[in-house]
Structure 1
Amino acid sequence: MAEEFYHSEAVLHPIPPERHHWAFQEILRSDQYLGGYIFLDSGKPAGFVVTNRTMQHEAGGVLVWLEEIYFRPAYQGRGYGTQAIEALSEDLKGKAAAIRLEVTQENPRARALYERMGFQPVNYLQMQKTL
């Protein structure tokens, strides 16, 4: 499903396949940084969430990045995204100060969902240096 996600309109570009393997291995190794959730519908994988933990002075403690949230097209528009964010929020109560995520400008349905769920824009331009 990660490969599907990184070839969807939700992201700006795909990533090398070996990064999916690395992330999955890290989720299995420890929950120190990455966490993962798989959502099933009648025993079939419908979607997934990947989280990333960090300390952030500005957030006032542990900040959990909602790195990836994806539901296969057949399951989109059926409330699974709302349920996933609600479950994650409940699971993190008392363990984290905030949840943060990224969304592309070209994904208005996701932006509307996140706004309904209480997320607000953070007006920072993010930058990255690949090593």
Structure 2
Amino acid sequence: MEIVRISEEHLRDFQELYIEFFRELRGKQGWSPHAEAEYRAEAVHYFKRDDLIFLAFDGGRAAGFIRVSSREGSFWVEEIYVRPKFRGRGIGRELVKRAEEEVLKWDSALYLFVLPQDKDAIAFWKRLGYDTINTIELVKDLEPTPRDEGFHTVELLGERFRIFRWRGEKFTEEEKRFMELLDEFYRKGGTKEEFLRLVNRALERWLE
């Protein structure tokens, strides 16, 4: 396996991987991907902008990529992708390692966003030493959108949040039951304060 910084020679490989990344992501979300020409143009834009883009080659074949951008004084992993037939070989880990080595030349931290539905991605990043910090995404639909249906209910310190349902979700039965109960709790008028009281009492009883 070889990890290389992108060059003009490898731009077409990056474009194909970039398209595959979004095709897989949109499939999980149940959404249709954009036209391939849009993704090809985005890939060229990021290359010309001089984002940190590394490609992995296995047996001479493009196997995956990682793209890191610099914004607001910090470095962010924007996408990481390994083609399905190359997974399980440590390629993702090596891509992250190479990106970290490059970022360390300018900064001591590397950030990323992970969707809460993507349990495989969360587990992957945690194995590499990444931890959850403080970002919550908010949205207000100014007109009706497909977001009006297909959510799970979750919470953070008693605040109600919604996350999209994905195809092929990997929630455990206990996690699914918790989200079902939580949704019913809030639908029946439960409040943040009531939720916190219930959880605190349950934890206190367990700790006794």
In structure 2, the residue matched to 1:44 is 61
Structure 1 residues 35, 90: CA separation in 2 closer, same or farther (over 3 Å shift)?
A: closer
Compute the displacement of 1:9 (Å): 4.4
The one of 96, 117, 121 equivalent to 1:110 is 121
| Bigger fraction of residues in helix | 2
The one of 60, 64, 74 equivalent to 2:85 is 74
Partners of 1:128 and 1:19 in 2: CA distance? 24
| CA RMSD across the alignment | 2.3
Compute the displacement of 1:126 (Å): 2.3
Compute the displacement of 1:3 (Å): 1.6
- TM-score, length-scaled by structure 1: 0.77
The one of 18, 21, 32 equivalent to 1:5 is 21
Partners of 2:139 and 2:74 in 1: CA distance? 19
Partners of 1:20 and 1:9 in 2: CA distance? 13
Number of aligned residue pairs: 121
Q: Is the 8 A contact 2:21 2:81 kept in 1?
A: yes
Stretches of structure 1 that go unaligned for 5 or more consecutive residues are 56-61
Compute the displacement of 1:118 (Å): 1.5
Structure 1 residues 99, 16: CA separation in 2 closer, same or farther (over 3 Å shift)?
A: farther
- TM-score, length-scaled by structure 2: 0.51
Q: Is the 8 A contact 2:57 2:64 kept in 1?
A: yes
Stretches of structure 2 that go unaligned for 5 or more consecutive residues are 1-16, 141-208
- The amino acid that maps onto 1:76 is R
Structure 1 residues 105, 88: CA separation in 2 closer, same or farther (over 3 Å shift)?
A: same
Aligned identity (percent) is 25
In structure 1, the residue matched to 2:48 is 29
Compute the displacement of 1:76 (Å): 1.3
